[in-house]
Amino acid sequence: MNSSEVRKLMAMNRVFKTVKERQLKNISRIPDFEERLKRLKKVREEYVGDSELMNAAVENLMNNGFTVRFAEDGSKALELILEEIGDEKLIVKSKSNLTKEINLTQELLRRGIEVVETDIGDRLIQLLEEDPSHPTGPASHVSVNQIFNELKKFKSDLKPDPYSIIEFLLEDIKKSIEKARVGITGANAITGEGSVLILHNEGNIFEIIRRTEKIIIVAGIDKFYPNLEEAVNSAKIQTFYATGNPVPSFMEIISGVSKTADIEKKLYTGVHEPKEAVVILLDNGRKYLMENGFKELFHCIGCGNCVINCPAYGVHGKDFKGGRFALYSALYSNSSDLRLCLSCRRCKKNCPVDIDIPGMISKVREGNEVYNFLYSHARWLVKAFYLQTILLWWQISGNVK
Ligand code: SF4
Ligand code: SF4
C-alpha cells in the first residue's frame, strides 16, 4: 500500500466518523425511529421477490405513462439503453449503484457516447478516475489536496479549497445538463401504485428531469414497495444512515411523463419535460440468488451503514469493500477478498434491516472457518499496525495533510 492509498483510507475514515457523529446527534429528531425500523424490516421481508406486487406495479407504471422494459442481465440492459438513447451522443447521469454494477458508463463511453455524472461526488471520481468508496459518498476517500492536485490541469485558477472545487464541478455539470436530451438515473423505490421514488441531496435529479426530453430509470427487481408510504419510510431511514441527517434534501416522486387534461378532460402528454419516461427493470442474477439462499441480501436499502462500521474495510479499503458491498462484489465480480472478513458481525448489528452479511459471507467463502478467522485477524493486525506506524511517522515528520 503506497502513501496515496494510506491518505485515501485516512480521508475515508474521517468522513465515516463524521457521519456516525451526525447519526448520534440527530437520532432524537426521529422520535418513532424504532417503529419505523420494524416497519421497514417487515416490508422488505414480505415484498422483496413478490411477483404479484411486481406485476401490479408494472401494470400501474404503464398506466401512468412509463414504458417498462425487462433486462435479464447487464448486456440486455445495455442493449435496451442503447435503443432508448438512439443517436444521442451525450448523456447526463445521476447516482446509481445499479448502473455501476453493469459498468454502464464505461460501456457507453466505449461506444463513443459521452456520459457526464451529475452528482458532485460521482463527477469528481469520474474525473479523478477513482473507484467509489461508499454507496452514497463515493468520494469519501479523497482529500481536498489530492483533488486540487489532480484537477488543476482542467482549470488554472482552481484553488485548493472545497468551494472553488465545487464551483468548478458545478459549472462543468450544468453545461452538460443544458445540452443533453437524455438522462439516466437509478431509483430508490418503485411503488405498487406505479411511481418511482428517487432521493438526492444536490438537486441534480430535479435538473435532469426538468431539462431532458427522455428519462431512463434503471432499477433492480428488488426495489418494489407496496405503496408510497413504505417507500418514503425506507427513504427516510436510508438517508439517516447514509448521511446522519433525519430527512433527505430532495425526494422526487415520478408517476409517468408530464401531462394535462385541463381542456375538456382530453389527456395531453409531454407538456413539459420529460416527454418520455422509461423504466428498465434489471434482474442480473437477483431472482436466482433470491431463490437460492440469498434473498436477505436484497432486503438491503443501500444505506451503507454496514460499510462505515466495517473494521475490515477501514484498514483494507478497496481489497475488501465492507459489509454488504464486499459480499455483493465477491458474488458479482470477484473483486473483494472475503477471507478478510473478521466475522465480527458489526455490519449485521448496524444494519437497519438486520441482514446477516457475515452468515452469508461464511456460506460463500472457501475454506475452514477457524482458519478464515485466524487469517482475517492476522491480516487485519498487520495492516492496522502498518497504518498506525505510517500515521505516527507522518505526525513526527509534520507530513500529515
Ligand atoms: S462481519 Fe465482516 S463484513 Fe461484517 S463488519 Fe465484520 S468484518 Fe465487516
Ligand atoms: S446491508 Fe444493511 S447496512 Fe448495509 S447497505 Fe444494506 S441496508 Fe444498509
Does residue 237 sit within a domain? yes
pLDDT average, residue stretch 259-283: 87
281 with 330, same domain: the answer is: no
- Which is nearest to 15 in space by CA: 140, 130, 133? 140
Name the residue of 37, 321, 351, 354 whose CB sits within 8 Å of the most ligand 2 atoms, as the mutation to test its pocket. 351
pLDDT average, residue stretch 293-311: 95
Least confident of 31-45, 62-76, 94-108, 137-151: 137-151
pLDDT higher than threshold 60 for residue 401: no
pLDDT higher than threshold 70 for residue 399: no
Does residue 299 sit within a domain? no
- The pLDDT value given to residue 400: 57
Question: For residue 171, what is the domain's CATH number?
Answer: 3.40.50.10420
- Cα of first residue to Cα of last residue in the chain, in angstroms, is 18
- The pLDDT value given to residue 14: 87
Are 216 and 182 a contacting pair, CB within 8 Å?
Answer: yes
1 with 71, same domain: the answer is: no
The average confidence (pLDDT) of the chain is: 91
Indicate the residue type of 141: H
Q: Which three cell numbers stand for residue 209?
A: 428531469
Does residue 398 sit within a domain? yes
Does residue 266 sit within a domain? yes
Does residue 297 sit within a domain? no
Bridge partners of residue 252, in order along the sequence: 198
Bridge partners of residue 260, in order along the sequence: 268
68 with 211, same domain: the answer is: yes
Least confident of 1-10, 113-122, 206-215, 379-388: 1-10
Confidence of residue 197 (pLDDT cuts 50, 70, 90): very high
124 with 175, same domain: the answer is: yes
- The pLDDT value given to residue 272: 79
Q: 306 C-alpha vs ligand 1 centroid, how far in Å?
A: 8
389 with 244, same domain: the answer is: no
Alpha carbons 351 and 112: distance in angstroms, whole number: 40
Least confident of 10-14, 147-151, 369-373: 10-14
Classify residue 154 by its DSSP letter. T
- The pLDDT value given to residue 283: 97
- Which is nearest to 343 in space by CA: 314, 323, 329, 318? 323
Least confident of 39-48, 66-75, 324-333, 392-401: 392-401
- The pLDDT value given to residue 136: 66
pLDDT higher than threshold 60 for residue 253: yes
pLDDT average, residue stretch 147-166: 89
Does residue 128 sit within a domain? yes
Name the residue of 306, 327, 357, 362 whose CB sits within 8 Å of the most ligand 1 atoms, as the mutation to test its pocket. 357
- The pLDDT value given to residue 135: 66
pLDDT higher than threshold 70 for residue 281: yes
137 with 16, same domain: the answer is: no
pLDDT average, residue stretch 194-222: 93
Of all ligands present, the nearest one to the C-alpha of 313 is 1
Minimal-distance CA residue to ligand 1 atom 2: 341
Are 261 and 49 a contacting pair, CB within 8 Å?
Answer: no
Burial profile 352-384: b = 16 or more Cβ within 10 angstroms, e = fewer: bbebebbebbeeebeeeeeebeeebeebbeebe
Alpha carbons 49 and 37: distance in angstroms, whole number: 20
φ/ψ region of 239 (left if φ > 0, alpha if ψ in -120 to 50, else beta) reads alpha
pLDDT average, residue stretch 307-323: 91
24 with 171, same domain: the answer is: no
Are 194 and 255 a contacting pair, CB within 8 Å?
Answer: yes
Alpha carbons 398 and 401: distance in angstroms, whole number: 9
358 lines ligand 1 (CB under 6 A): yes
361 with 308, same domain: the answer is: yes
Domain count, the chain: 2
SS (H, E, C) 97-141: HHHHHCCHHHHHHHCCCEEEECCHHHHHHHHHCCCCCCCCCCCCC
Question: What percent of the chain lies above the pLDDT cut of 90?
Answer: 69
Domain boundary residue, one of 234, 256, 289: 289
234 with 367, same domain: the answer is: no
Q: Which three cell numbers stand for residue 221?
A: 427487481
pTM of full prediction above 0.85: yes
Domain boundary residue, one of 231, 258, 289: 289
Pairing of strands 114-117, 276-282: unpaired
Does residue 298 sit within a domain? no
φ, ψ at 65 (rounded to 5°)? 105, 5
Q: Which three cell numbers stand for residue 61?
A: 407504471
322 lines ligand 2 (CB under 6 A): no
pLDDT average, residue stretch 70-76: 97
209 with 274, same domain: the answer is: yes
Does residue 295 sit within a domain? no
Alpha carbons 119 and 60: distance in angstroms, whole number: 29
Domain boundary residue, one of 289, 316, 351: 289
Least confident of 67-76, 86-95, 103-112, 259-268: 259-268
Q: 292 burial class (0-12, 13-18, 19+ CB within 10 angstroms)? A: exposed
225 with 89, same domain: the answer is: yes
Tell me the C-alpha to C-alpha distance, in Å, between residue 230 and each of 34, 277, 338. 15, 23, 33
153 with 88, same domain: the answer is: yes
Q: Which domain holds residue 384?
A: 1-31+304-401
